[in-house]
Amino acid sequence: MVSFVEVVYWVTALCCLGQKHLVTGGCTGKCCRGRNMGCSTTDWRMDRAFAKCFCDEDCVKTKDCCFDYFTECPAQDCAVSAWSFWSGCAKPCQPSVRVRVRHVEQQPGNSGEPCPRLEERAGCREYRDHRGSQCGRNSGSAFITSLEFGKGRPKHDSYGNPLNPGFCMEFKMETRTAHCTVENRPHTLWMRYITEGFKVCVACEPPALRNSSCQGDGQESDKEAALQWQAVGNPHCRGTWKKVQKTPQCTCPTQHIFIFT
């Protein structure tokens, strides 16, 4: 016959084991990256089954997380720094690309948001070579880029005097290659707005403005002449347009305003 003392002993022992299970069970101290078959225990799962459960990141996808996964392993989103300044153009005196970067300050964890892209490129053109000498001008196609690029151009000279604000050329878009719409890189998205049959405005401003003109601006051309243009940042995006008129400022819708480079 079991004595009262023995009953008390076993009840106390079972209670202690239960308390130990509650403290050490689940995902306490077991959070793991990716899929880790060793990152597991036997406890209540989120589907209310008492069985083998996991505390790795992939358990969310496989639906076999332990009941306390989201409490013990909270999601940690990726954190990145601010963008660096834009680099100079890769090549001087011709259409090229510039780059800016940012770095990861906190890696994502426990199914947190992944890191965004860390590098961004954009078309550009510089007007001095590596020795600081001014690039020579040559006739030919007009090189254009997005209005956004022009926002970073200087508005004053080194003495603080305002620069010539330039002018605007209006063109009717005649042709464009299919490459203008198939590109999906961030620095080429503006090219999608180059549409045949539409009027576009192209600003001619410093430093592209030299001797009262920009390369390929068509000021001296006949209105029926088909003039060549090319998008900076995607040499395969090119076409022809016809001059409409020269105006003091660009009045086209914002998405149809570009700048000479």
pLDDT tens, residue by residue, 164-219: 889 999 999 999 999 888 877 777 888 988 989 999 999 999 888 888 889 889 88
What is the H or E stretch that residue 202 is in?
strand 199-204
For residues 64 and 115, state if they share a domain: no
Asked if residue 17 is part of any domain, the answer here is no
Same domain, 87 and 152: no
Gap between the terminal Cα atoms of the chain: 100
Q: What is the per-residue pLDDT for 135?
A: 64
Does residue 180 sit in helix, strand or coil?
A: helix
Could you tell me the pLDDT band of residue 245, with boundaries at 50, 70 and 90?
very high
Are 160 and 246 within one domain? Answer: yes
- Mean pLDDT of the region 75-80: 91
Q: How far apart are CA 60 and CA 87, in angstroms?
A: 41
Stated as kind and residue range, the H or E segment containing 21 is helix 4-24
Q: What are phi and psi of 133, to 5 degrees?
A: -80, 145
> Furthest-apart CA pair in the chain: how many Å?
117
Least trusted range by pLDDT, from 8-17, 85-94, 129-138, 210-219: 8-17
Would you state the structure tokens that stand for residue 110, as one six-digit string?
A: 């426990």
Domain hosting residue 104, numbered range: 79-126
- Whether 184 is covered by a domain: the verdict is yes
Domain count, the chain: 3
Give the count of beta carbons closer than 10 Å to the beta carbon of residue 183.
Answer: 18
155 and 237 both lie in a single domain: yes
10 three-state secondary structure = helix
Residue 246 scores a pLDDT above 90: yes
Q: pTM higher than 0.75, yes or no?
A: no
Quote the DSSP letter at residue 37: T
Whether residues 103 and 168 fall in one domain: no
* Structural domain contains residue 137: no
Same structural domain for residues 52 and 105? no
